[in-house]
Amino acid sequence: MSGGVDSSVTAFFLKERGFDVEGVSLVLWESRDTSSTCCSTQAIEEASKNAERLKITHRVIDARKDFLEKVIKPFVNSYVRGLTPNPCVLCNKHIKFPILLGEADKRGALYIATGHYARVEPEKSIVNNHQSLVKTNNQCPVTNDQFPDLAPGSNHFLLKKGIEPKKDQSYVLYGLGQEELKRLVLPLGDYRKDQVRKIAKELALPAAMRNESQEICFVQDKNYSKFIESLSGMTGERGSIIHISGKVMGTHMGIQGYTVGQRKRLGISSPEPLYVVGIDALNKTVLVGPREAAKTREFLVKSLNWIVLPEALLFKEEESVSAFRATVKVRSTMKDEPATIYMETNPPSPPFAKGGAGGLLIKSARVVFDKPQWAPAPGQSAVFYDGDTVLGGGIIKRLN
Protein backbone atom coordinates (compact mmCIF):
# COMPACT_ATOMS: atom_id res chain seq x y z
CA MET A 1 0.00 0.00 0.00
CA SER A 2 1.56 3.23 -1.18
CA GLY A 3 -0.97 5.55 0.43
CA GLY A 4 -2.61 6.34 -2.90
CA VAL A 5 -6.02 5.58 -4.35
CA ASP A 6 -5.06 2.55 -6.43
CA SER A 7 -3.49 0.33 -3.77
CA SER A 8 -6.19 1.22 -1.24
CA VAL A 9 -9.04 0.31 -3.58
CA THR A 10 -7.14 -2.87 -4.50
CA ALA A 11 -7.16 -3.86 -0.82
CA PHE A 12 -10.90 -3.14 -0.66
CA PHE A 13 -11.65 -5.27 -3.73
CA LEU A 14 -9.69 -8.22 -2.35
CA LYS A 15 -11.35 -8.01 1.05
CA GLU A 16 -14.77 -7.90 -0.63
CA ARG A 17 -13.88 -11.06 -2.55
CA GLY A 18 -13.22 -12.89 0.69
CA PHE A 19 -9.44 -12.73 0.88
CA ASP A 20 -7.64 -12.27 4.17
CA VAL A 21 -5.81 -9.05 3.34
CA GLU A 22 -2.79 -7.43 4.95
CA GLY A 23 -1.41 -4.09 3.77
CA VAL A 24 2.35 -3.62 3.40
CA SER A 25 4.05 -0.27 2.82
CA LEU A 26 7.69 0.10 1.87
CA VAL A 27 9.85 2.96 3.07
CA LEU A 28 12.01 3.49 0.01
CA TRP A 29 13.45 6.96 0.34
CA GLU A 30 13.54 9.71 2.92
CA SER A 31 11.30 12.23 1.27
CA ARG A 32 8.78 14.71 2.60
CA ASP A 33 7.63 15.69 -0.86
CA THR A 34 3.84 15.42 -0.58
CA SER A 35 3.47 15.02 -4.36
CA SER A 36 5.02 11.56 -4.08
CA THR A 37 2.55 8.78 -3.26
CA CYS A 38 5.10 6.06 -2.58
CA CYS A 39 8.13 7.68 -0.96
CA SER A 40 6.97 10.47 1.31
CA THR A 41 6.41 10.28 5.04
CA GLN A 42 2.88 11.55 4.49
CA ALA A 43 2.18 8.71 2.05
CA ILE A 44 3.10 6.06 4.61
CA GLU A 45 0.90 7.75 7.21
CA GLU A 46 -2.03 7.84 4.79
CA ALA A 47 -1.53 4.18 3.88
CA SER A 48 -1.93 3.39 7.57
CA LYS A 49 -5.12 5.48 7.75
CA ASN A 50 -6.51 3.76 4.64
CA ALA A 51 -5.78 0.35 6.14
CA GLU A 52 -7.48 1.37 9.39
CA ARG A 53 -10.50 2.54 7.43
CA LEU A 54 -10.64 -0.80 5.61
CA LYS A 55 -10.12 -2.68 8.88
CA ILE A 56 -7.07 -4.58 7.68
CA THR A 57 -3.67 -5.15 9.27
CA HIS A 58 -0.94 -2.80 8.08
CA ARG A 59 2.80 -2.87 8.54
CA VAL A 60 5.75 -0.85 7.27
CA ILE A 61 9.00 -2.33 5.95
CA ASP A 62 12.19 -0.32 5.71
CA ALA A 63 13.65 -1.01 2.24
CA ARG A 64 15.83 2.10 1.98
CA LYS A 65 19.15 0.27 1.90
CA ASP A 66 18.14 -2.03 -0.96
CA PHE A 67 16.44 0.84 -2.79
CA LEU A 68 19.63 2.89 -2.61
CA GLU A 69 21.79 0.05 -3.95
CA LYS A 70 19.46 -1.39 -6.58
CA VAL A 71 17.54 1.66 -7.83
CA ILE A 72 19.07 4.98 -6.82
CA LYS A 73 22.71 4.18 -7.58
CA PRO A 74 21.96 2.57 -10.99
CA PHE A 75 19.73 5.58 -11.76
CA VAL A 76 22.52 8.05 -10.96
CA ASN A 77 25.20 6.01 -12.74
CA SER A 78 23.05 5.78 -15.87
CA TYR A 79 22.53 9.53 -16.12
CA VAL A 80 26.24 10.13 -15.60
CA ARG A 81 26.84 7.84 -18.60
CA GLY A 82 24.40 9.77 -20.77
CA LEU A 83 21.56 7.24 -20.42
CA THR A 84 17.92 7.69 -19.40
CA PRO A 85 16.98 4.90 -16.97
CA ASN A 86 13.51 3.85 -15.84
CA PRO A 87 13.65 3.48 -12.04
CA CYS A 88 10.10 2.10 -11.84
CA VAL A 89 11.18 -0.96 -13.85
CA LEU A 90 14.17 -1.48 -11.56
CA CYS A 91 12.11 -0.99 -8.43
CA ASN A 92 9.43 -3.48 -9.46
CA LYS A 93 11.97 -6.11 -10.45
CA HIS A 94 14.49 -5.76 -7.64
CA ILE A 95 12.60 -4.22 -4.71
CA LYS A 96 8.80 -4.30 -4.55
CA PHE A 97 8.00 -7.76 -5.84
CA PRO A 98 10.89 -9.65 -4.20
CA ILE A 99 10.02 -8.05 -0.86
CA LEU A 100 6.30 -8.74 -1.27
CA LEU A 101 6.94 -12.38 -2.12
CA GLY A 102 9.29 -12.73 0.82
CA GLU A 103 6.76 -11.24 3.21
CA ALA A 104 4.00 -13.44 1.75
CA ASP A 105 6.13 -16.55 2.33
CA LYS A 106 6.76 -15.56 5.95
CA ARG A 107 3.01 -15.40 6.55
CA GLY A 108 2.01 -18.37 4.43
CA ALA A 109 0.10 -16.09 2.06
CA LEU A 110 -0.78 -17.55 -1.33
CA TYR A 111 -0.86 -14.29 -3.29
CA ILE A 112 0.50 -10.79 -3.51
CA ALA A 113 -1.37 -7.83 -5.00
CA THR A 114 -0.60 -4.30 -6.17
CA GLY A 115 -2.58 -1.40 -7.59
CA HIS A 116 -1.06 -1.58 -11.07
CA TYR A 117 -3.40 -1.20 -14.05
CA ALA A 118 -2.57 -4.46 -15.78
CA ARG A 119 -3.87 -8.05 -15.84
CA VAL A 120 -2.44 -11.51 -15.17
CA GLU A 121 -4.09 -14.50 -16.85
CA PRO A 122 -3.21 -18.19 -17.28
CA GLU A 123 -1.80 -19.17 -20.67
CA LYS A 124 -4.85 -21.26 -21.56
CA SER A 125 -6.49 -18.00 -22.62
CA ILE A 126 -4.37 -18.15 -25.81
CA VAL A 127 -6.30 -19.58 -28.75
CA ASN A 128 -4.74 -22.60 -30.42
CA ASN A 129 -4.23 -20.95 -33.79
CA HIS A 130 -2.61 -17.78 -32.49
CA GLN A 131 -0.02 -16.56 -34.97
CA SER A 132 2.61 -15.12 -32.66
CA LEU A 133 2.46 -16.79 -29.27
CA VAL A 134 3.68 -20.35 -28.86
CA LYS A 135 3.48 -22.80 -26.00
CA THR A 136 6.67 -24.44 -24.94
CA ASN A 137 7.06 -28.09 -25.91
CA ASN A 138 9.72 -30.73 -26.36
CA GLN A 139 10.71 -29.28 -29.73
CA CYS A 140 11.51 -25.86 -28.30
CA PRO A 141 15.29 -25.35 -28.40
CA VAL A 142 15.50 -22.83 -25.58
CA THR A 143 17.22 -24.61 -22.72
CA ASN A 144 15.61 -24.88 -19.30
CA ASP A 145 18.73 -23.34 -17.80
CA GLN A 146 18.09 -20.16 -19.80
CA PHE A 147 14.35 -20.01 -19.23
CA PRO A 148 13.42 -22.28 -16.30
CA ASP A 149 10.00 -20.64 -15.99
CA LEU A 150 9.17 -21.57 -19.59
CA ALA A 151 10.09 -25.22 -19.26
CA PRO A 152 7.77 -27.80 -20.85
CA GLY A 153 4.90 -28.73 -18.60
CA SER A 154 5.08 -25.58 -16.47
CA ASN A 155 1.93 -23.63 -15.60
CA HIS A 156 2.43 -20.43 -17.55
CA PHE A 157 0.89 -17.03 -16.81
CA LEU A 158 0.56 -14.04 -19.11
CA LEU A 159 0.92 -10.34 -18.39
CA LYS A 160 -1.66 -8.23 -20.23
CA LYS A 161 -2.52 -4.56 -20.60
CA GLY A 162 -5.11 -2.88 -18.40
CA ILE A 163 -8.38 -2.09 -20.18
CA GLU A 164 -7.82 1.70 -20.03
CA PRO A 165 -5.04 2.51 -22.53
CA LYS A 166 -4.01 5.77 -20.87
CA LYS A 167 -3.53 4.09 -17.48
CA ASP A 168 -2.06 0.77 -18.64
CA GLN A 169 1.03 -0.07 -16.55
CA SER A 170 2.07 -3.39 -18.10
CA TYR A 171 5.15 -1.58 -19.48
CA VAL A 172 6.78 -1.22 -16.06
CA LEU A 173 6.03 -4.86 -15.16
CA TYR A 174 7.66 -6.53 -18.17
CA GLY A 175 10.70 -7.53 -16.09
CA LEU A 176 8.68 -9.91 -13.90
CA GLY A 177 8.97 -13.67 -14.24
CA GLN A 178 6.67 -16.61 -13.67
CA GLU A 179 7.60 -16.78 -9.98
CA GLU A 180 5.93 -13.40 -9.50
CA LEU A 181 3.14 -13.68 -12.08
CA LYS A 182 1.74 -16.98 -10.84
CA ARG A 183 1.12 -15.40 -7.42
CA LEU A 184 0.22 -11.87 -8.53
CA VAL A 185 -3.32 -10.50 -8.33
CA LEU A 186 -4.05 -7.22 -10.17
CA PRO A 187 -7.70 -6.28 -9.57
CA LEU A 188 -7.48 -2.84 -11.21
CA GLY A 189 -6.62 -4.14 -14.69
CA ASP A 190 -10.32 -4.44 -15.46
CA TYR A 191 -11.21 -0.95 -14.23
CA ARG A 192 -10.81 2.63 -15.40
CA LYS A 193 -9.16 5.22 -13.17
CA ASP A 194 -12.34 7.28 -12.79
CA GLN A 195 -14.17 4.18 -11.52
CA VAL A 196 -11.45 3.52 -8.97
CA ARG A 197 -11.41 7.09 -7.74
CA LYS A 198 -15.21 7.09 -7.42
CA ILE A 199 -15.06 3.95 -5.27
CA ALA A 200 -12.39 5.53 -3.06
CA LYS A 201 -14.64 8.57 -2.50
CA GLU A 202 -17.62 6.37 -1.69
CA LEU A 203 -15.50 4.58 0.91
CA ALA A 204 -14.34 7.94 2.30
CA LEU A 205 -10.72 6.84 2.03
CA PRO A 206 -8.11 9.55 2.79
CA ALA A 207 -6.43 8.47 -0.47
CA ALA A 208 -9.42 9.74 -2.48
CA MET A 209 -8.24 13.33 -2.18
CA ARG A 210 -4.63 12.72 -3.24
CA ASN A 211 -3.27 13.82 -6.59
CA GLU A 212 -1.52 11.50 -9.04
CA SER A 213 2.08 10.72 -8.14
CA GLN A 214 4.93 12.31 -10.07
CA GLU A 215 6.77 10.21 -12.63
CA ILE A 216 9.90 9.58 -10.52
CA CYS A 217 8.92 9.55 -6.87
CA PHE A 218 12.30 10.30 -5.29
CA VAL A 219 13.29 13.29 -7.46
CA GLN A 220 11.68 16.46 -6.17
CA ASP A 221 10.65 19.20 -8.60
CA LYS A 222 11.85 16.98 -11.49
CA ASN A 223 15.31 18.45 -11.02
CA TYR A 224 17.28 15.37 -12.06
CA SER A 225 20.56 17.23 -12.45
CA LYS A 226 20.51 18.60 -8.90
CA PHE A 227 19.54 15.21 -7.49
CA ILE A 228 22.29 13.40 -9.38
CA GLU A 229 24.90 15.95 -8.35
CA SER A 230 23.90 15.58 -4.70
CA LEU A 231 24.25 11.77 -4.86
CA SER A 232 27.30 11.48 -7.09
CA GLY A 233 29.29 14.46 -5.90
CA MET A 234 29.50 15.73 -9.48
CA THR A 235 29.47 19.48 -9.90
CA GLY A 236 28.83 19.28 -13.62
CA GLU A 237 31.56 18.88 -16.22
CA ARG A 238 31.28 21.38 -19.01
CA GLY A 239 30.92 20.23 -22.59
CA SER A 240 29.67 21.38 -25.95
CA ILE A 241 26.12 21.50 -27.27
CA ILE A 242 26.45 20.79 -30.97
CA HIS A 243 23.84 21.04 -33.74
CA ILE A 244 23.59 18.01 -36.04
CA SER A 245 24.95 20.29 -38.77
CA GLY A 246 28.21 20.51 -36.79
CA LYS A 247 27.70 24.02 -35.45
CA VAL A 248 28.59 24.58 -31.79
CA MET A 249 25.49 26.08 -30.17
CA GLY A 250 26.72 26.56 -26.63
CA THR A 251 28.08 24.95 -23.49
CA HIS A 252 26.36 22.68 -20.99
CA MET A 253 27.16 22.15 -17.30
CA GLY A 254 26.95 18.35 -17.32
CA ILE A 255 25.38 15.68 -19.53
CA GLN A 256 23.40 14.40 -16.52
CA GLY A 257 21.02 17.31 -17.05
CA TYR A 258 19.91 16.11 -20.49
CA THR A 259 17.93 13.31 -22.07
CA VAL A 260 17.00 12.41 -25.63
CA GLY A 261 13.84 14.26 -26.69
CA GLN A 262 14.35 17.15 -24.24
CA ARG A 263 13.44 20.64 -25.49
CA LYS A 264 13.31 22.92 -22.45
CA ARG A 265 16.24 24.15 -20.36
CA LEU A 266 18.82 23.55 -23.08
CA GLY A 267 20.58 26.83 -22.35
CA ILE A 268 20.90 27.84 -26.02
CA SER A 269 19.07 30.18 -28.36
CA SER A 270 17.84 29.29 -31.83
CA PRO A 271 15.27 30.64 -34.32
CA GLU A 272 13.77 27.13 -34.51
CA PRO A 273 12.82 24.72 -31.68
CA LEU A 274 15.68 22.34 -30.95
CA TYR A 275 15.64 19.00 -29.18
CA VAL A 276 18.29 16.72 -27.69
CA VAL A 277 18.84 13.97 -30.28
CA GLY A 278 21.90 12.30 -28.76
CA ILE A 279 24.35 12.31 -25.85
CA ASP A 280 28.02 11.38 -26.18
CA ALA A 281 29.22 10.66 -22.64
CA LEU A 282 32.79 9.93 -23.75
CA ASN A 283 33.23 13.33 -25.36
CA LYS A 284 30.80 15.09 -22.98
CA THR A 285 28.77 16.31 -25.93
CA VAL A 286 25.04 16.99 -26.23
CA LEU A 287 23.73 16.78 -29.80
CA VAL A 288 20.67 18.84 -30.77
CA GLY A 289 18.52 19.17 -33.86
CA PRO A 290 14.97 19.78 -35.15
CA ARG A 291 12.07 17.63 -33.99
CA GLU A 292 12.32 15.21 -36.92
CA ALA A 293 15.92 14.45 -35.99
CA ALA A 294 14.76 13.16 -32.57
CA LYS A 295 12.67 10.47 -34.23
CA THR A 296 14.23 7.03 -34.59
CA ARG A 297 13.13 3.98 -36.49
CA GLU A 298 15.72 1.43 -35.38
CA PHE A 299 17.66 0.56 -32.23
CA LEU A 300 19.31 -2.30 -30.34
CA VAL A 301 17.84 -3.88 -27.19
CA LYS A 302 19.74 -5.99 -24.65
CA SER A 303 19.16 -7.45 -21.15
CA LEU A 304 16.08 -9.20 -22.53
CA ASN A 305 13.35 -10.72 -20.37
CA TRP A 306 10.71 -13.02 -21.92
CA ILE A 307 7.27 -13.75 -20.53
CA VAL A 308 6.06 -15.48 -23.71
CA LEU A 309 8.36 -17.09 -26.28
CA PRO A 310 7.73 -15.73 -29.79
CA GLU A 311 8.03 -17.96 -32.83
CA ALA A 312 11.47 -16.46 -33.54
CA LEU A 313 12.87 -18.69 -30.82
CA LEU A 314 11.79 -21.90 -32.50
CA PHE A 315 14.65 -24.10 -33.62
CA LYS A 316 16.19 -23.28 -37.01
CA GLU A 317 19.39 -25.14 -37.80
CA GLU A 318 20.79 -22.88 -40.48
CA GLU A 319 19.77 -19.52 -39.09
CA SER A 320 21.31 -17.49 -36.30
CA VAL A 321 18.93 -14.53 -36.66
CA SER A 322 15.13 -14.81 -36.63
CA ALA A 323 12.46 -12.12 -36.79
CA PHE A 324 8.91 -11.65 -35.60
CA ARG A 325 6.26 -8.96 -35.75
CA ALA A 326 4.99 -7.17 -32.66
CA THR A 327 4.00 -3.77 -31.39
CA VAL A 328 6.54 -1.96 -29.21
CA LYS A 329 6.52 0.73 -26.54
CA VAL A 330 9.65 2.74 -25.73
CA ARG A 331 8.00 4.70 -22.90
CA SER A 332 5.09 3.89 -20.64
CA THR A 333 2.86 6.72 -21.87
CA MET A 334 3.11 6.03 -25.61
CA LYS A 335 0.86 3.83 -27.71
CA ASP A 336 2.63 0.66 -28.79
CA GLU A 337 3.50 0.84 -32.48
CA PRO A 338 4.07 -1.92 -35.09
CA ALA A 339 7.63 -3.10 -35.64
CA THR A 340 9.76 -6.03 -36.70
CA ILE A 341 12.04 -7.47 -34.02
CA TYR A 342 15.16 -9.21 -35.30
CA MET A 343 16.56 -11.67 -32.78
CA GLU A 344 20.34 -11.89 -32.69
CA THR A 345 21.44 -15.25 -31.31
CA ASN A 346 24.51 -17.41 -31.09
CA PRO A 347 24.08 -20.51 -33.28
CA PRO A 348 22.79 -23.51 -31.33
CA SER A 349 24.97 -26.49 -30.63
CA PRO A 350 24.59 -29.35 -33.19
CA PRO A 351 20.88 -30.16 -33.48
CA PHE A 352 20.25 -31.54 -30.02
CA ALA A 353 23.44 -33.58 -30.26
CA LYS A 354 24.25 -35.77 -27.31
CA GLY A 355 26.02 -33.67 -24.75
CA GLY A 356 25.28 -30.45 -26.64
CA ALA A 357 23.50 -27.48 -25.12
CA GLY A 358 20.73 -27.87 -27.67
CA GLY A 359 19.58 -24.28 -27.24
CA LEU A 360 19.88 -20.74 -28.53
CA LEU A 361 21.74 -18.07 -26.63
CA ILE A 362 19.87 -14.82 -27.22
CA LYS A 363 22.28 -11.91 -27.36
CA SER A 364 20.07 -9.00 -28.30
CA ALA A 365 17.16 -7.81 -30.39
CA ARG A 366 17.05 -5.15 -33.07
CA VAL A 367 13.77 -3.23 -33.22
CA VAL A 368 12.78 -1.71 -36.55
CA PHE A 369 9.57 0.32 -36.40
CA ASP A 370 7.37 0.61 -39.47
CA LYS A 371 7.51 4.38 -38.96
CA PRO A 372 10.05 6.48 -37.01
CA GLN A 373 9.05 7.01 -33.37
CA TRP A 374 9.58 9.94 -31.06
CA ALA A 375 12.83 9.98 -29.08
CA PRO A 376 13.63 6.42 -27.96
CA ALA A 377 16.35 6.95 -25.36
CA PRO A 378 19.24 4.61 -24.51
CA GLY A 379 18.65 3.33 -20.98
CA GLN A 380 14.88 3.23 -21.36
CA SER A 381 12.98 -0.03 -21.83
CA ALA A 382 11.48 -1.33 -25.07
CA VAL A 383 8.53 -3.63 -24.39
CA PHE A 384 7.11 -6.01 -27.00
CA TYR A 385 3.38 -6.77 -27.31
CA ASP A 386 1.17 -9.15 -29.23
CA GLY A 387 -2.23 -7.51 -29.01
CA ASP A 388 -2.73 -6.85 -25.31
CA THR A 389 -0.22 -9.51 -24.21
CA VAL A 390 3.33 -8.64 -23.12
CA LEU A 391 5.87 -10.85 -24.88
CA GLY A 392 8.88 -9.38 -23.10
CA GLY A 393 11.32 -6.53 -23.41
CA GLY A 394 14.75 -5.16 -22.65
CA ILE A 395 16.94 -2.07 -22.34
CA ILE A 396 17.61 0.20 -25.29
CA LYS A 397 21.39 0.19 -25.77
CA ARG A 398 22.10 1.97 -29.01
CA LEU A 399 20.25 4.09 -31.55
CA ASN A 400 20.89 3.99 -35.30
Residues contacting 264, CB < 8 A, separation 6+ = none
Nearest of 383, 291, 278 to residue 331 by alpha carbon = 383
Indicate the DSSP class of residue 71.
Answer: I
Amino acid at 154: S
| Listed residue (9, 37, 44) closest to 200, CA to CA | 9
**Rounded CA separation 34/16 (Å):** 30
Helix, coil or strand: residue 102: helix
Q: Based on the residue annotation, tell me whether 39 is a catalytic residue of this protein.
A: no
- 306 vs 393: CA distance, rounded Å: 7
Return the ∠ at Cα 246 (arms to 241 and 247), rounded to 5°.
60
Strands 361-374 and 112-113: unpaired
Q: How much of the chain is in helix, strand and coil states, percent to nearest 5? A: 30, 30, 40
108 touches 181 (CB < 8 A): no
Widest distance between CA atoms in the chain: 67
Write down how long the chain is.
400
Q: DSSP string spanning 256-273?
A: GG--TT--SS-----SS-
The DSSP line for 52-68 is HHHT-EEEEEE-HHHHI
How many C-beta atoms lie closer than 10 Å to residue 199's C-beta? 17
Distance, in Å, from the CA atom of 3 to the CA atom of 33, rounded to the nearest integer, reads: 13
> In angstroms, rounded to a whole number, what is the distance separating the alpha carbons of residues 325 and 68?
38
Q: Any idea what DSSP says for residue 6?
A: H
Catalytic residue among 38, 39, 91, 140: 91
How far apart, in whole angstroms, are the C-alpha atoms of residue 370 and residue 380?
Answer: 20
Residues known to be catalytic:
91, 217
